[in-house]
Structure 1
Amino acid sequence: MLARMYLRASTDEQDATRALQELEDFAAERGLTIAATYIENESGAKLQRPELFRLLRDSRPGEILLIEQVDRLSRLTEADWQKLLAEIETKQVRIVARDLPTSWMLASPTDEFTGRMFKAINGMLLDMLAAVARKDYEDRRRRQAQGQARAKAEGRYKGKQEDVKRNKGIEAMLKEGKSYTQIQDVTKASRATVAKIAKRLKERATEAA
């Protein structure tokens, strides 16, 4: 049975490959063959994630989308979560999460009745965990906003600091003609970050012309 691993971290500073070995071991224990691994640094609150949708484009009916935790797949709003589920359903891909034992049955051959039962149970639990992940995201955002407001009021807030060394490296690679994907592989920066720096370079070139 083929599986495609999806690993995600929210920011460029986080290691999206942290759970790679654990997922590889999990797949081996259940006799799954890893067809490909998809890694990106993007917020789970965003529906448009290039690597996730590349995975879905590459997937064939009956294959498994293997994740560490449900929140790696979604911290989406209800509306966006339903859009993602519809896309997954269209591709006839099965979601297996290491932190969701009921999903493990979907990684093993079963009779039609058992398969349908576990699919229904798994779908319900996925919805619940996706809702919990979204609430956790919103709670953390609210606490961060409260902390920033307090720090601003006290004159302590400096905002997010730019990774100057990394961004200069991205600039150099862009000037060398490297692709976004090549740059992401080397720097682990998000596609949005690479695009932002590319735009900055273009603006500088326009100003100098």
Structure 2
Amino acid sequence: MFIRAYLRASTKEQDAKRAKSELIAFANDHGHKIAAFYVENESGAILVRPKLMQLIEDAHKGDVILVEQIDRLARLNQADWDTLKRMLSEKKLSIVSKELPTSYMALQPERSTEFMSSVLQAINAMMLDMLAAIARKDYEDRRNRQMQGIARAKAEGKYSGRRKDIEKRKIIASLLKSGHSYSEIQGMTKCSRHLIADVAKERPKMLSTH
């Protein structure tokens, strides 16, 4: 069994490797070792993340993706969550999360019966969908609170604006270089066409610093 651990944090200020030792211990407790780690600092609300996409590309049929929590894997809207599930399903990849005991069955070398296996798989799929929905709701609630805070700061004359998202701009630049259309990039990164156009003007400079 080949286990690939995925660790993610939203910002550079957060330590994406924080849970590495916990995942190693978790795998050991279930009689396994983690064969590969994929670590990145990207928003879970974006489907196309470099290390996540690399993990899926590297994975072989039947591999296991191990995460600390489902929100480390995704805080996606429903359409993107369905897309990610389809990408995983095409390679028959299983998601195992420390927070989801029903997912542990993927770490068992043998299943008791075909019927029980089917039942547990159905329950696990339902629980994954529920946790993914909760993660998205939490993300949207935090965004709403942030917008409310910005609105108050603007009203009080204390808002100084937001610095450019350098990492997102680099991703957009790379996608432009790969020949993706504006619409495709919008769908992948959840950004505005104005931002894509802005990055297109700066693309040579940005790619030279990637």
Deviations 1:78-123 (A, max 9, x none): 0110000001011101100011111112211214333222111100
CA distance in 2, matches of 1:68, 1:95: 11
Structure 1 unpaired stretches of 5+: 164-188, 205-209
1:36 Cα deviation (Å)? 0.6
Give the match for residue 125 of structure 1: 127
Give the match for residue 47 of structure 2: 47
CA distance in 1, matches of 2:133, 2:172: 31
Say yes or no: does 1:56 pair with 2:47: no
Q: Identity across aligned pairs (percent)?
A: 52
Instruction: Give the stretch that moved more between structures: 75-84 or 26-35.
Output: 26-35
Structure 2 unpaired stretches of 5+: 175-198
**Does the Cα contact within 8 Å between 1:5 and 1:65 map onto a contact in 2?**
yes
1:195 Cα deviation (Å)? 5.7
SS at match of 1:115: helix
| Letter of the structure 1 residue corresponding to residue 69 of structure 2 | Q
Give the match for residue 96 of structure 1: 96
| Letter of the structure 1 residue corresponding to residue 36 of structure 2 | A
CA distance in 2, matches of 1:80, 1:162: 25
**Does the Cα contact within 8 Å between 1:106 and 1:119 map onto a contact in 2?**
no
Matches within 5 A, 1:65-104: 65-104=65-104
Give the match for residue 13 of structure 2: 13
TM-score (norm 1): 0.77
CA distance in 2, matches of 1:73, 1:49: 10
CA distance in 2, matches of 1:129, 1:157: 34
CA distance in 1, matches of 2:172, 2:123: 42
Give the match for residue 139 of structure 2: 137
Give the match for residue 26 of structure 1: 26
TM-score (norm 2): 0.77
1:159 Cα deviation (Å)? 3.3
1:23 Cα deviation (Å)? 0.5
Number of residues of Structure 1 aligned to a counterpart in Structure 2: 178
SS at match of 2:135: helix
SS at match of 2:7: strand
Deviations 1:149-188 (A, max 9, x none): 100110112234579xxxxxxxxxxxxxxxxxxxxxxxxx
Give the match for residue 3 of structure 1: 3
